[in-house]
Each structure stands twice: as structure tokens, then as C-alpha cells.
């Protein structure tokens, strides 16, 4: 069974927008892959005029929030970098136990890569203007720029959600049989990597080709 990979469109986000953007994307993907019985829950974003759907599982919501907190901590320590969150779905296959190892093999059948370029724009411009006669309010300019960026980000986020729906629709054959579980029916993991990591690109390639070893590079 092959592993389908989806590279989502890169988003340029500010630090305060990271949480909402990540929650929106992760929950949307999870909703489409939580094929057990769910009671969908609509959630409105605060910073954007977008409504996404959660599968209503409190435990998984908590797990996602923890990962997002971890990611935000990392971003705050290393701002202005490109980061990647990988949401992987896998099947557990028990390998035959040997004398020294009792490995549980994970077979990844789908991986989603969320690409975020976290930026931190200056809040206000410097005071001097090239045209002293023209009074320019730096606060208004910054606010307008922020609004323009946010509008563009909202549009991009909407494109990402459409991209998820399109991918989910196009690729269905690789999805394993649904176990008789409520809510999230397939095990998954969320890993975080950034461009500062030395093995950033190699790790991504490695995971794409890998079929055995579990990877935790967070």
C-alpha cells in the first residue's frame, strides 16, 4: 500500500495567527480522516471569517492543542523561519519479535505537510518621513498593511482548505478499512520540523521513503 503525500500551500503567518491557522488545518484534515462515528462541530475562527469542522473528540482536540503549543514555543524561540508540521496517518503492524527487539512497525499510508512561514512584522514604522509636509500616520499604515496581510492570509487559508477537500476526494483507495471505533479511527502522529534543522530536507525525504521506523523529530 502506497503512502499518499499532500504538500499544502505555504502560508505566511504572524505569531498571533499561528494557533488559529494550525487548529483550522489540523482539525480539517482530522475530520476527513476520522471515519468513525462523529458528531461534527462547527468552529468559527476569531481572526478570520472562516468556519471549520472538528470531529468533536475532546481527547484529540487536547492532543492537537498540545502540539500547537509546542510549535508556538519553538517559533517564538526561532522566529522568522519556515516551519513544517507533518500529520501522518499510519497502520500498526506487529513485526515478529526477535531476541532483542520487539518492534512495532508503522506503515504510513498518508502524510500531510503544513508549511508555515512565520514572520514577525514590526508594529510601527520609524518616525521620519521623506516628505515632511505630508503627515503620514504610521499607525494607520501599519494597521492597513496588517489588514491587507490578514485578508490575503484568509484567502490563502481558504485555498488550503479547498486543497484538503480536493485531495481527500481524489485519493480514497489508499485509505485502510475503517475499524469499529468512534471518532478518530486511524492512529496518527504530528511532527514538527523547521528550516533551521540540519536534516530538514533530508528528514522529509527520509520519511517519504520510509516504511518502518517511527520518527519523532520534535
Partner 1 sequence: MDLQYGRFEQILTQFLLKSIHIILDSRVPSTRPYSRCREVKKSDKWFNLALGDRPSALENLNFWHRNLTEPIIIDIILVQEPPNSSCGYSLLPTTSGLGTFTETVIERWVVQCEYLRTMTPQSSDVSYKKTYKKSIILLRSLFSMMRLLPAYKAFRKLSSTNQTCDFDINYKVSTFSVPFSRTEEELMKHYSFIPVDAQQGRFAISVTYRDNLSHFNLEASTSFPPEIITDYVGSPLTDPLRTFPSSLERRFHATPLLSRGMHSPSSVPFQRPHSWTSGLHRGVSSPQSQPLAGCPVLYRASYEVSSAISDTYGRKVQDCKSPAHYEAASSNDSYQLSPPFSPSPSPSPPAYLTSGNPVQTRFRSESAPVSIPHPIVGRSSRYISPNSSDPNRNSLPPLSPRFTKHDSSSQESPSGTRSLRKPDSLRSAESSCGMTYLGQKVSRDAKDDSGRFSGLLSSSDSPRVGFSRSSSRLSFQDDLDECDFSCPFIVDDVDTSESQANRNLDLRKGSEASSQAISSVRKSQDAAVGALVHMLRTAPPLRLDSSSYASGFEKSELESIAGAGSGFVLPRKTSDALEELKAYSEMKELLLCKSGSITSRAGSKDETSSS
Interacting residues with partner 1 (CB under 8 A): 28, 31-32, 35-42, 49-53, 56, 158, 161-162, 164-165, 168-170, 172, 175, 177-180
Instruction: Tell me how far, at minimum, the Cβ of 127 lies from partner 1, in Å.
Output: 38
Q: Between 4 and 203, name the residue whose CB sits nearer to partner 1.
A: 4
Instruction: Tell me how far, at minimum, the Cβ of 66 lies from partner 1, in Å.
Output: 23
Q: How does DSSP classify residue 10?
A: P
- Yes or no: say if 120 and 15 are a contact pair by the CB < 8 Å rule: yes
Q: Between 34 and 75, name the residue whose CB sits nearer to partner 1.
A: 34
* Closest to 121 (Cα-Cα) out of 5, 16, 39, 6: 16
Cα–Cα distance between 9 and 167 in angstroms, integer? 12
Instruction: Tell me how far, at minimum, the Cβ of 32 lies from partner 1, in Å.
Output: 5
Q: How does DSSP classify residue 71?
A: H
Q: Between 31 and 188, name the residue whose CB sits nearer to partner 1.
A: 31
Instruction: Tell me how far, at minimum, the Cβ of 51 lies from partner 1, in Å.
Output: 5
Instruction: Tell me how far, at minimum, the Cβ of 85 lies from partner 1, in Å.
Output: 19
- Residues in contact with 210: Cβ distance below 8 Å, sequence separation at least 6, in sequence order: 108
For strand 81-94 and strand 51-54, is the pairing parallel, antiparallel, or unpaired?
unpaired
Cα–Cα distance between 83 and 195 in angstroms, integer? 6
Q: Between 27 and 74, name the residue whose CB sits nearer to partner 1.
A: 27
* Closest to 193 (Cα-Cα) out of 95, 111, 99: 111
Q: Between 152 and 205, name the residue whose CB sits nearer to partner 1.
A: 152
Residue-level length of the chain: 218
Amino acid at each position: 500500500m502506497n503512502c499518499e503525500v499532500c504538500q499544502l500551500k505555504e502560508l505566511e503567518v504572524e505569531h498571533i495567527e499561528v494557533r488559529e491557522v494550525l487548529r483550522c488545518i489540523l482539525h480539517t484534515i482530522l475530520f476527513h480522516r476520522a471515519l468513525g462515528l462523529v458528531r461534527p462541530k462547527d468552529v468559527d475562527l476569531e481572526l478570520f471569517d472562516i468556519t471549520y469542522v472538528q470531529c468533536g473528540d475532546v481527547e484529540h482536540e487536547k492532543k492537537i492543542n498540545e502540539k500547537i503549543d509546542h510549535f508556538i514555543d519553538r517559533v517564538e524561540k526561532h522566529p522568522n523561519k519556515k516551519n513544517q508540521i507533518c500529520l501522518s496517518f499510519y497502520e500498526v503492524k506487529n513485526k515478529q519479535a526477535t531476541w532483542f527487539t520487539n518492534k512495532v512497525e508503522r506503515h504510513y499510508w498518508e502524510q500531510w505537510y503544513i508549511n508555515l512561514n512565520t514572520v514577525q512584522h514590526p508594529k510601527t514604522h520609524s518616525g521620519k518621513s521623506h516628505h515632511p509636509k505630508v503627515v503620514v500616520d504610521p499607525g494607520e499604515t501599519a494597521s492597513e498593511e496588517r489588514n491587507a496581510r490578514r485578508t490575503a492570509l484568509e484567502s490563502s487559508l481558504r485555498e488550503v482548505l479547498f486543497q484538503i477537500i480536493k485531495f481527500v476526494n481524489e485519493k480514497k483507495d489508499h485509505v485502510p478499512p475503517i475499524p469499529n471505533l468512534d471518532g478518530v479511527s486511524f492512529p496518527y502522529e504530528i511532527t514538527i520540523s523547521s528550516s533551521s534543522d540540519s536534516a530538514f530536507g533530508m528528514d522529509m525525504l527520509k520519511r517519504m521513503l520510509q516504511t518502518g521506523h517511527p520518527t519523532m523529530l520534535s
